[in-house]
């Protein structure tokens, strides 16, 4: 998740056994307490990446955070399900020591990905990495409010902290930028299902559907850009 300020991050084991980071001061965490891997897999992989259903998918992630969505997408590539060009916006990256403690690659039984994963998560460069395992990765240290690329993504993983913590991420201007970033027929998926967010997405031009949410959450949202 894109993070302006995330104080006192501590390891937190979620209900499915996977780890995330949590701030007691903000009463906020990077992933659902009901299951970090379950949430990311349901919201971003199944309802986003797999819904697009293309052999090659261009992904834009708003809020790289701990890299869990990146890693789950990369694993799909390694399994031969698709190839992906992945662009992540993250102006406030998680520190290497915290990523090492989380151990996402080992937790997902892909320990061999640890070194290339850590390289991509921690090295400061915004040009694309060479393809590896069906994935091309680009990390941009920019805030979404300054992102102006158009028609470059098939799916957007919108994974900012929730509106009470980060209201500036859920504005009409941001969703208008996201609408323009999608190709016709592309989709934006988010764990958030608040009515105000749905109405803001609609005002930006999205056709918005409520979908079943991940464990512990009744609903999520998926917005689609008009195919024309």
CA diameter of the chain: 46
pLDDT tens across the length of the chain (228 residues):
444 455 667 776 877 777 777 776 666 667 666 668 999 999 999 999 999 999 999 999 998 989 999 999 999 999 999 999 999 999 888 889 989 989 999 999 999 999 999 999 998 888 899 899 999 999 999 999 999 999 999 999 999 888 988 899 999 999 999 999 999 999 999 999 999 999 999 999 999 999 999 988 899 999 999 987
Q: How far apart are CA 139 and CA 123, in angstroms?
A: 9
Residue 19 CA, chain-centre distance (Å), reads: 16
Say which CATH topology domain 39-224 has.
Rossmann fold (3.40.50)
CA angle, 159 then 211 then 169, to 5°: 25
List pLDDT tens digits, range 99-141. Answer: 998 999 999 999 999 999 999 999 888 889 989 999 999 999 9
Reduced to 3 states (helix: H, G, I; strand: E, B; else coil), residue 141 is coil
Mean pLDDT of the chain: 90
- In this prediction the pTM is 0.91
Closest CA to 138 of 127, 151, 148: 127
Exposure string for 54-78, b = 16+ CB within 10 A, e = fewer: eeebbbbbbbbbbbbbbbbbbbbbe
Q: How far apart are CA 52 and CA 136, in angstroms?
A: 18
Q: Where are the domains of the chain?
A: 39-224
């Amino acid at each position: 998740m894109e993070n302006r300020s995330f104080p006192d991050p501590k390891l937190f084991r979620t209900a499915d056994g996977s780890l995330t980071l949590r701030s007691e001061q903000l009463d906020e965490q990077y992933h659902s307490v009901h299951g970090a891997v379950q949430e990311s897999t349901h919201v971003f992989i199944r309802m986003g990446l797999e819904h697009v259903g293309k052999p090659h998918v261009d992904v834009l992630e708003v809020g790289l955070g701990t890299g869990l969505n990146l890693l789950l997408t990369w694993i799909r590539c390694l399994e031969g399900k698709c190839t992906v060009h992945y662009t992540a916006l993250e102006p406030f990256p998680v520190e290497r020591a915290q990523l090492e403690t989380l151990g996402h690659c080992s937790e997902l039984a892909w320990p061999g990905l640890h070194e290339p994963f850590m390289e991509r998560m921690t090295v400061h460069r915004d040009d694309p990495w060479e393809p590896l395992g069906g994935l091309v990765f680009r990390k941009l240290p920019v805030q979404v409010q300054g992102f102006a690329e158009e028609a470059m993504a098939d799916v957007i993983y919108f994974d900012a902290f929730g509106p009470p913590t980060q209201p500036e991420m859920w504005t009409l201007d941001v969703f208008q930028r996201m609408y323009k970033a999608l190709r016709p027929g592309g989709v934006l998926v988010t764990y958030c299902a608040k009515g105000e967010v749905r109405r803001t997405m609609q005002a930006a031009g999205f056709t918005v559907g409520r979908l079943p949410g991940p464990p512990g959450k009744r609903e999520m949202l998926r917005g689609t850009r008009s195919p024309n």
